[in-house]
Amino acid sequence: MPMISVNIDSLVPDFVKRFEPYVPSRPDDVLKRFYGCDTLYRMNNNENPLGSPPSAAEVVRKFPPPSASIYPSGDSFHLCNELARHLQVSPEQVIVGNGANEVIAFVIKAFCREGDNIVTADKTFAVYEWLAEFSGFEARLVPLREYSFDEQGLLDHINARTKIIFICNPNNPTGTYWSREQLESFLDQVDGRWIVVVDEAYFEFCTARDYPDGIRLIERYPNLVVFRTFSKMYGLAGLRIGYLVGSPELVQEVRRTVVVYSVNSVAQQAAVAALNDDAGHLSRSRDMVARGKEFLEGELSALGLEVVSGQGNFVMAKLPISDAYVYQKLMAKGVMVRTMTGFRFPNWIRITISHPEALQACTRHLGRILEQSDPDKGRERG
Ligand SMILES: *Cc1c(COP(=O)(O)O)cnc(C)c1O
């Protein structure tokens, strides 16, 4: 029988064709074999190396197999109630998604129609831009100003077809943040005309005194949406669970675009347990990050590198040589960092704060790699 001929290409919209598929990194076992290392320090994804709070880990361990055969709660009922109680909002103000990544898509779908655009920074978490563009909406990108979101630049890029402004607070990867005063001033200027998303994926890591809790501003600014996630501080990245909080009238609209059953049962139950864990895990994680950041800032500066470090569990450093080359060399030593050239920071790397031994391995090997590639030192050695 002849094969049916299909012109698949002609069925694909141009805005999808323009888009290159994302190439995720290989699983750890494949990477270890490829680079020939027995251990791998993962410092590429801002995960919490302390894992999840013990009670959440217990939920995962004890998840009853028969529950795997039953659909999860379609609206994460218990988790929404628990979040509402913790955040002092009403459950109707919360939507849980398959990672914060999914709630980004919900908001874009709810507000953008053909010809609309979103506004965000050029060097920030790339998913806002990607989701907008492969959905057929323009992403208007505003250059960072001193590594930070530029309030006036954002306002200048808004036009008649703008629907949503995405602010990453603190910004991944630069760690810069808007103070409460700056955020309020921006929201006052927006004056309710557009949706403002504040992505607080690193909220639980933030220790700066003037760092604002966006959720407390929702009552005054009903056009504000706040994103949070269980992937970073709560160490549940593999279960994929995040959420948004907004005013009841806004969330009611976004709820129309929600994909039912996208959040699995283990994730919902582990997240409830994580929220109710005593403060031990959070403070231990914050201590580890504070110490690790100080260590990294010192060591990287001693290597003569420009370092950008702020809130969040990561720092960036600018290399005098190719980030891709350094990545390969570090991987051979079992150290995995994030190359940033693809994120418009040519030859920068981003390093997630981890255990002392991981950070020491990272800076020690990085130092050697830089030394070996330094042409002057190469000559000295003859
Ligand atoms: C990691 C991250 C997220 C994604 O969180 P998931 O819940 O894992 O999808 C969202 N925003 C920022 C800024 C992040 O760094």
More confidently predicted of 110 and 373? 110
Atom of ligand 1 nearest to the CA of 168: 13
Q: Per the domain annotation, does 2 fall within a domain?
A: no
Residue 242's φ and ψ, nearest 5 degrees, are: -150, 175
Domain stop point among 257, 275, 293: 275
Question: How far separated are the first and last CA of the chain, in Å rounded?
Answer: 69
The answer to whether the CB of 101 is under 6 A from ligand 1 is yes
Angstrom distance (rounded) from CA 205 to CA 209: 12
**133 in the same domain as 60:** yes
**84 in the same domain as 38:** no
Half-sphere exposure of 222 (CA within 13 A, CB side): 7
Q: Return the CATH number at 58.
A: 3.40.640.10
Residue with tokens 């290392």: 37
At 238, list the tokens: 């593999």
Q: Per the domain annotation, does 220 fall within a domain?
A: yes
Q: Are 197 and 167 in contact (CB under 8 A)?
A: yes
Ligand 1 pocket test target in 22, 107, 120, 125 with most atoms within 8 Å of CB = 125
Q: In angstroms, what is the span from residue 201 Cα to ligand 1's centroid?
A: 6
**263 in the same domain as 122:** yes
Mind listing the pLDDT tens digit for each residue in 13-63? 998 998 888 888 899 999 999 999 999 999 999 999 999 999 999 999 999
Angstrom distance (rounded) from CA 286 to CA 50: 11
Q: Per the domain annotation, does 199 fall within a domain?
A: yes
Sign, Cα dihedral of 148, 135, 224, 53: negative
Angstrom distance (rounded) from CA 86 to CA 180: 21
Contacts of 204 (CB under 8 A, 6+ apart): 232, 233, 234, 282, 285
Mind listing the pLDDT tens digit for each residue in 157-216? 999 999 999 999 999 999 999 999 999 999 999 999 999 999 999 999 999 999 999 999
Angstrom distance (rounded) from CA 239 to CA 227: 17
Element (H, E) at 228: strand 224-229
Q: Per the domain annotation, does 192 fall within a domain?
A: yes
For 17, the domain range is 8-51+280-381
Q: Per the domain annotation, does 375 fall within a domain?
A: yes
Q: Per the domain annotation, does 1 fall within a domain?
A: no
Arithmetic mean of pLDDT, 253-262: 95
Domain stop point among 275, 297, 319: 275
**214 in the same domain as 192:** yes
**64 in the same domain as 36:** no
**331 in the same domain as 259:** no
At 263, list the tokens: 């959040």
**371 in the same domain as 326:** yes
The residue whose CA has the least distance to atom 14 of ligand 1 is: 201
**66 in the same domain as 144:** yes
**147 in the same domain as 201:** yes
Domain stop point among 247, 275, 303: 275
**75 in the same domain as 210:** yes
**209 in the same domain as 286:** no
Q: Are 168 and 125 in contact (CB under 8 A)?
A: yes
Total of domains in the chain: 2
At residue 22, the pLDDT reads 85
Mind listing the pLDDT tens digit for each residue in 269-299? 999 999 998 779 999 999 999 999 999 999 9
The answer to whether the CB of 125 is under 6 A from ligand 1 is yes
Long-range Cβ contact pairs of 32-38 (< 8 A, separation 24 or more): 32/334, 35/328, 35/331, 35/332, 35/334, 36/332, 37/331, 37/332, 37/333, 37/334, 38/334
Q: Rounded to the nearest 10 degrees, how much is the dihedral formed by the CA atoms of 321, 324, 326, 332? A: -160
The answer to whether the CB of 99 is under 6 A from ligand 1 is yes
Residue 377 pLDDT class (50, 70, 90 cuts): low
> What global pTM score does this model have?
0.95
Q: In angstroms, what is the span from residue 117 Cα to ligand 1's centroid?
A: 21
Q: Return the CATH number at 301.
A: 3.90.1150.10
Q: Per the domain annotation, does 3 fall within a domain?
A: no
Q: Per the domain annotation, does 218 fall within a domain?
A: yes
Mind listing the pLDDT tens digit for each residue in 111-129? 999 999 999 999 999 999 9
At residue 117, the pLDDT reads 98
Q: In angstroms, what is the span from residue 150 Cα to ligand 1's centroid?
A: 21
> If you average pLDDT over every residue of the chain, what do you get?
95
Atom of ligand 1 nearest to the CA of 237: 8
DSSP type of residue 312? S
At residue 25, the pLDDT reads 87
The answer to whether the CB of 168 is under 6 A from ligand 1 is yes
**251 in the same domain as 123:** yes
